[in-house]
Amino acid sequence: MLIDWFTVGAQAVNFIILVWLLKRYLYKPILDAVDARERRIAVELADADAKKAEAQRERDEFQHRNEEFDRQRAALIGRATDEANTERQRLLEEARSAANALSLKRQETLRNDAEQLNQAILRRTQQEVFAIARKALSDLAGASLEQRMVEVFAQKLGAIDAKVKQGLAQGLAASPEPALIRSVFDLPAEQRATIQQALNQTFSADVKVTFETAPDLVSGIELTTNGQKLAWSIADYLESLETRVGELLKAKAKPESKVEPESTTAAEPGGEVAPKATAKATSRPKEPQLESKSQ
């Protein structure tokens, strides 16, 4: 018989005991260990995921801040650049306007200087002209300037045209006051008599005259009566001279240093200057003449 029933029973019991033993010593502890490890791994993975998410969040935040920072920096730089440009423009404008003002002031000063110089030259020229004329007359002709001027005045008076003469005569007749003779120099009695005589001859009447000295007078001698004026003048000489000096100043305004000696030379008194002035005077279109003006 192949089956021994006692052995069958014993083996069945053995098997049940083995099941219990293995459950106790093998399956339970091993499965528990596996479960514990899996739980631990799951926890660690979850932890790692959380950390990863945190890291990702922080990285995003950092990136965001970085971008924000870059944007702000760019904006600041842009603003600073704009401000610097504006400031530069403003400073340039200021400098330009300051330069313009300075330039205008300088031009003004130059013009004033030129004007003053002109005036000075005019005055000096007048003095020089009279001085030269006086000296030339006394040296060459043995006559004083005053005397010569009075002679010329008398001569010219004699040669005035009829229309002017009539106007003056009417003026003299109408005026209740005596006619006024003004001169740069104090006229001596002899010459006053010459003028009185010339007037009397010219207007064929006894003309009453008062004499007056006016040092600033441009003209040599002038006759004023009842709004009528008759003058022998060197104003044209002076005007012409002024014009030429003005042209010279304009032409050489920039190199100021050159203007100065030129004008000095022109204004310099002395024997050498006289012929030069004479030469210039010859080129002038106008002769000194008696003018009649209605005031």
Partner 1 sequence: MRLSPDDIIFWQSGFIKLNGTIVFTWALMAVLAVGSKLVTRRLSMDLQRSRWQNLLEIIVTGIEKQIEDVGLAEPRTYIGFLGTLFLFVALATLCTVIPGYEPPTGSLSTTAALALSVLIAVPYFGIEQQGLRGYLKSYVEPTFIMLPFNIISELSRTLALAVRLFGNMMSGAMIIAILLTITPFLFPIVMSALGLLTGMVQAYIFSILAAVYIAAATSGRKSKAEPALDATK
Residues found near partner 1 in the complex (CB under 8 A): 2-12, 14-23, 25-27, 29-34, 36-37, 40-41
Report the residue number, 47 or 115, with the smaller CB distance to partner 1. 47
Nearer to partner 1, 14 or 112 (CB): 14
Tokens standing for residue 1: 């018989």
- CB 47, min distance to partner 1, A: 14
- Distance in Å, CB of 34 to partner 1, minimum: 6
CB of 36 to partner 1, least distance (A): 5
- Rank residues 24 and 73 by Cβ distance to partner 1 and give the closer one: 24
> Rounded to the nearest whole angstrom, what is the least distance from the CB of residue 42 to partner 1 in the complex?
13
Give the SS3 label for residue 217: coil
Q: How far is the CB of 39 from partner 1 (least distance, A)?
A: 9
Specify the residue, 26 or 76, whose C-beta has the smaller distance to partner 1.
26
**Contact residues for 277 (Cβ-Cβ < 8 A; gap 6+):** 128, 129, 132
- Measured from the CB atom, the residue of 17 and 77 that comes closer to partner 1 is 17
User: Looking at the chain, which runs of residues are DSSP E strands?
Assistant: 179-183, 209-213, 219-225, 228-233, 290-294
Nearest to 291 by CA among 229, 242, 249: 229
Residues 6+ apart with CB under 8 A from 67: none
Cβ of residue 17: shortest distance to partner 1, in angstroms? 7
Closer by beta carbon to partner 1, 12 or else 77: 12
Nearer to partner 1, 12 or 84 (CB): 12
Number of Cα atoms under 13 Å in the Cβ half of residue 170:
9
| DSSP secondary structure of 105-168 | HHHHHHHHHHHHHHHHHHHHHHHHHHHHHHHHIIIIIS--HHHHHHHHHHHHHHH--HHHHHHH
What token pair was written down for 175? 């005026």
In the complex, minimum distance from the CB of residue 50 to partner 1, in angstroms, rounded to a whole number: 20
What are residue 181's phi and psi, to 5 degrees?
Answer: -110, 115
User: What's at 109, amino acid-wise?
Assistant: T
Q: How far is the CB of 29 from partner 1 (least distance, A)?
A: 4
CB of 26 or CB of 53, closer to partner 1: 26
Q: What is the rounded (10 degree) CA torsion for 5, 7, 11, 12?
A: 20
Question: Residues with Cβ < 8 Å from 281, sequence gap 6 or more?
Answer: 237
Q: Which two tokens stand for residue 3?
A: 């089956």
